[in-house]
Every structure is written in structure tokens, then in C-alpha cells.
Structure 1
Amino acid sequence: MSAVAVLRLPLSVDLGGFVQLLQRMQVPHRVSEEAGEQVLWVPETISDDVRVLYQRFPAGDPDQQLDIPEQAPIKRPGFLQQLRHSPLTALVLLASIIVGAVTLLGENLQVMSWLTFLQFRIVGEYIQFTPLADSLAAGQWWRLVTPMLIHFGILHLAMNGMWYWELGRRIEARQGSINLLGLTLLFSLVSNYAQYVFGGPGLFGGLSGVLYGLLGHCWIFQLLSPNPAYRLPRGVLVMMLVWLLLCLSGLVSMIGFGEIANAAHVGGLVIGCLTGLLGGLYSRRKASL
């Protein structure tokens, strides 16, 4: 359900009392700051009612004159219910766990060689990579996306899995499983190819390139077509972008986190912002019709 701006007020106006009234009435809402104004967003279906309510109670209802019945607190869905609502998100995570188990989190090179971007074989103490064109000519097209399932260590898998669960569920709830699958494969393809082009032949993997794609998608989509599903806490966005800059600076590798697939992160973020731009513009245009 799309949200619309029902109030645009100067920052000097105290909106706190009215926001408390909306909270008492359990009306979905959010307040943002844009161009020196505070903007109140609510679902489009109740926007007219909220405008009328503000005209009557601009300072809220501090004396509780309104008879608002007590409502039972909203229960958060349980884990099994979340799984039923997010089957594709759960499937990608399950595949990552299975691949992590059979590859021994990067230790079983023989199994890894079937999933890496470039096929390779061990020659003595060296790794010899097969040109990408040869693998594709042999029909091994899965290599363009399967590196997202490879993880190097339990922390790598746990962190990427946590963020995919958080971001993937949002997109699956808002745009459906098919769109999440398409975005995941697209972000994996672009981030893997970017890492190959700018990083050269090597062993790389993980969902982090896809995660930056999902982050960019939610970020830009939300700016153009605000909706609760894609509303990320500002701290999360800042943290992810700061982490990207730290990785690009080389500091993260210096303190012992190993080699970072920076090109994959940047490639994922760029393509994610592009899909968010296209999706946000389409959603806004659709809502205006």
C-alpha cells in the first residue's frame, strides 16, 4: 500500500501532539524532513480522514476528549509465519547454507570449482583458472550467479544471511517472489562480473554484492515512492555506506578481514540504485493514475 504526504508544515510547528494522537489510534504513519519542512505520510486510503482529523485536532488530544477504544496490541508474526510469507528469501538462504556445508565454507576447493565464476584446477601450489569464454561455451552459464552462494567462514555466511533475510523479505512482501528472484539473479550477475573485470581472475563469493543491490533498490525506490516495506532506518543506510567506503580505503583488509570484493559491492549498489529508480518511478506513476 502506497503512502502519500498529507501534511507539509514548517519545522517550527510542533507536530508531536498530533503524532501521539495517531499513535493512540494506531494509524500507520511516518514523519520525514524534506526541504526545510516536516512531512507527514500515511496510507493513501486514509489520507483524507487524517487531513480532517488534523483540522479538528492540530495539537492532538492531550485531554483525551476523544473516546478511542483500546485495541489489542499488534502481534509480530512468528518465525514459521515469516517463512511462509517469504519463501524465496528462505530458499536463497537455505541454498547458501547447503553450499556452505558441502564446500566446508571455502575449504573444499574441489566442490567450489563447480560454483565459482571461473572454473579452476589445482596445479601443485597454484590455482589455474579456465577462461570465462571456455566455461560459457561449455554451457556452464550458472557460474555467472552461483558465486553468491559461496561463503568463506561462518561469520561471512551469518552476516550476509542476516542482511539478506532483512532486505529480501521487504522486497518479497512489496514486489513478490518472482521480482525478488529476478533482482537477486541480476544483482549477482552484475556484481560478479564487475569483480571479475576490475579484480581479475580470483576466488570470490558471497551475497554481499547482492545485498548492496537490495540496499540500493530499497533506498531509491523509497525516495521516489514511499512505502513502509522499504523504509530503512537512516542508521542502517549510513552504516552500510560507511562500511563500503572503509572497504574501498583498504582499511578493512589491513585489520585482518581478508580480501574484500570491492568491485562486487560497488557494482551491486549501482545496479540496485538503477532498479530502484525504475521501480520507484513506475510505482509513483501507477499510483497517480
Structure 2
Amino acid sequence: MSVVAVLRLPLAVDLSGFVKLLQRMQVPHRVSEEAGEQVLWVPDEISEDVRSLYARFPAGDPDQQLELPASGRTSTRPGFVQQLKASPITALVLLSSLIVAAVTLLGENLETLRWLTFLEFRVVGDYIQFTPLGDSLAAGQWWRLVTPMLVHFGFLHIAMNGMWYWELGRRIEARQGGINLLGLTLLFSLVSNFAQYVFSGATLFGGLSGVLYGLLGHCWIYQLLAPNPAYHLPRGVLVMMLVWLLLCLSGLVSLIGFGEIANAAHVGGLLVGCFTGLLGGLFARRKMAL
């Protein structure tokens, strides 16, 4: 087991509180003095977690706000309410999707739906007439670039997307924070929506699936470069989602009755997610090496 220096602090900094927290968490560590600095050493595989912990609790946890499993007992999974409190951005995105699903009647209420789609439209008889994207943007309707991620067509659509966003979003929020998750979600939505628009033209599309493939690609590549338990995805999950993507691209999924699939959004989301995972993973790896 290799150890690395995760913190180098002046001798005047009181590290005792944080060291007590590490002891309470049973984290292997040692502190040394080198060149007028105090250096905290931990096993390489948990170095990123310790840095994140120090960023949140530099003085330790004197009031014992952190709930840790008692020694010798099996840790229990946090309750649903605790998970919501720990993942507010993940919960906010899912709540927004549910609200949109309710007010649009899962895509049936076209009058409400038209305010959230990538292209504004109006119903003329039995036809839908779309407004050019440039006209909408010139009118200040920039939200249209990302709001299609909140639109879902059917209960199964939102149930499946919501489940996967809950699983992937919480991982990113736990390791990189809520602001990063929100930024990635908006970026993946923007890229996947635009990719689908370029590929399919003036059509109705929506859902979180493009964002989900972005989150998948981000976790996948990030984990390869900077391994961390928070980003560990079972190999079966990764294989299943990639196989599903290939089946969708083949046209078989649409053929058996699942409706039209936004394949360009999936591919666009996955590619940009792999790119952000590459950047984030390289940055985290560099920090670990310092």
C-alpha cells in the first residue's frame, strides 16, 4: 500500500481536530514535519477523499455532526430523507422533471409543452408548425436550449430516466459537489439537445437520457483516470447502457414499439461526458500526485 502526502500546512495551523476526525473514522494516516511544514500522509487510494474531507471539516468535527458507524457494527444505508439532504441538486432536477411531467400531462398538454421544447411550435389543425430556433433565441427564449431535458413522454420514460439520474447524479454530487453536477447537467443537456436538433431537424424530443449518457461517460472516464469508490460503476451497468445505446442506434428498439429514440442526443451526451470526465480525471490525478 503506497502512501502520499495529501496536505502540506504551516506548523502554525492546528491540525489536531482534523487528525481526531481521521482517528474517529479509522482512516490510516500519519503526520510528519518536513522543511518547516506539517505533512499529512494517507494511503493513495483514499487521498482524494481525505482532501475533500479536509475542505469541508478543516477543524475536524468537534460537535460530531458526521454520523459514523459504530466500531464493530455494520454501517447502515442512509434513509431516503438523508439521501435527499445529501444530494439537493440531484433532488432538484428530479423534482423539476416531475413538476413538468405534471403540468404537461406527460407531453399531452401541448399548450404548456410548447414553452419548454427546443423549438417553439403552434398547432394548426392536425399539424404542428415550428418556429425557427433563431427567432426564439432573438426573442430571449434561451431556456429552450436546456429545458427539453425536463420534458418526458409517458410514465415509463420519466421513471427510467429518473432512476438513472438518481443513481448517477448522486455520485457526481458526492464527489465533485452540487455546483459541478448542475453545470454538467446543463452542459450535457445543451449539447445533446443541439445534436438531436441538427440530426433530426424540427421535431419534438425531450427527456433526461442525453444527460444520463453524459453523466455515464463522465463517471466512466473520470474513474479510469482517478479511481474513487464514489464513481465505481459495476461493469454490468456500463455494459448494459452501452448495449442499449447500440440497440437504439440499430433501430431495433423503435421497431419493437418503444417509439422514436433520440439517438443523436444519446451519442452527443456520451461524447461530451467522456470529454469532461477526461478533463476532470486528469485534474484530479494531478492533484493526487502533488
Is the pair's TM-score, using the shorter chain for normalization, greater than 0.5?
Answer: yes
Q: Which residue of 1 aligns with 2:272?
A: 271
Distance across 2 between alignment mates of 1:196 and 1:113: 16
Distance across 1 between alignment mates of 2:27 and 2:220: 24
Q: How does 1:191-270 map to 2 (within 5 A)?
A: 191-270=192-271
Distance across 1 between alignment mates of 2:48 and 2:172: 22
Q: How does 1:158-177 map to 2 (within 5 A)?
A: 158-177=159-178
Tell me the secondary structure at the aligned position of residue 106 of structure 2: coil
Amino acid at match of 2:118: F
Tell me if the contact between 2:101 and 2:151 (Cα under 8 Å) persists in the aligned partners.
Answer: yes
Q: Which residue of 1 aligns with 2:108?
A: 107
Distance across 1 between alignment mates of 2:176 and 2:74: 27
Task: Note the C-alpha offset of 1:44.
Answer: 3.8
Distance across 1 between alignment mates of 2:48 and 2:179: 27
Q: Does 1:130 align with 2:104?
A: no
Amino acid at match of 2:85: R
Q: Which residue of 1 aligns with 2:120?
A: 119
Distance across 2 between alignment mates of 1:136 and 1:84: 36
Q: Does 1:43 align with 2:42?
A: no
Distance across 1 between alignment mates of 2:174 and 2:119: 34
Amino acid at match of 2:175: R
Tell me the secondary structure at the aligned position of residue 121 of structure 1: strand
Amino acid at match of 1:118: L
Change (3 A) 1:258 1:41: farther
Tell me if the contact between 2:47 and 2:288 (Cα under 8 Å) persists in the aligned partners.
Answer: no
Task: Note the C-alpha offset of 1:70.
Answer: 6.8
Distance across 2 between alignment mates of 1:190 and 1:138: 21
Q: How does 1:2-17 map to 2 (within 5 A)?
A: none
* 1:98-123 deviation digits (Å, cap 9, x = unpaired): 00000000100110000000000001
Task: Note the C-alpha offset of 1:199.
Answer: 1.1
Amino acid at match of 1:129: F
Tell me the secondary structure at the aligned position of residue 115 of structure 2: coil
Amino acid at match of 2:113: M
Q: Which residue of 2 aligns with 1:71?
A: 72
Task: Note the C-alpha offset of 1:267.
Answer: 0.2
Distance across 2 between alignment mates of 1:42 and 1:279: 17
Task: Note the C-alpha offset of 1:5.
Answer: 7.0
Amino acid at match of 2:110: L
Q: Which residue of 2 aligns with 1:65?
A: none
Q: Which residue of 2 aligns with 1:10?
A: none
Tell me the secondary structure at the aligned position of residue 204 of structure 1: coil
Change (3 A) 1:283 1:45: closer
Q: Which residue of 2 aligns with 1:63?
A: none
Distance across 2 between alignment mates of 1:70 and 1:186: 42
Task: Note the C-alpha offset of 1:251.
Answer: 0.1
Tell me if the contact between 2:45 and 2:227 (Cα under 8 Å) persists in the aligned partners.
Answer: no
Tell me the secondary structure at the aligned position of residue 43 of structure 1: helix
* 1:120-139 deviation digits (Å, cap 9, x = unpaired): 00011100000000000000
Q: Which residue of 1 aligns with 2:57?
A: none
Tell me the secondary structure at the aligned position of residue 194 of structure 1: helix
- Between the two proteins, the alignment pairs up a number of residues equal to 234
Amino acid at match of 1:121: R
Change (3 A) 1:269 1:77: same
Matched-pair identity in %: 79
Question: Where in structure 2 are there 5+ consecutive unaligned residues?
Answer: 4-25, 29-42, 50-69
User: Could you tell me the TM-score, scaled by structure 1's length?
Assistant: 0.78
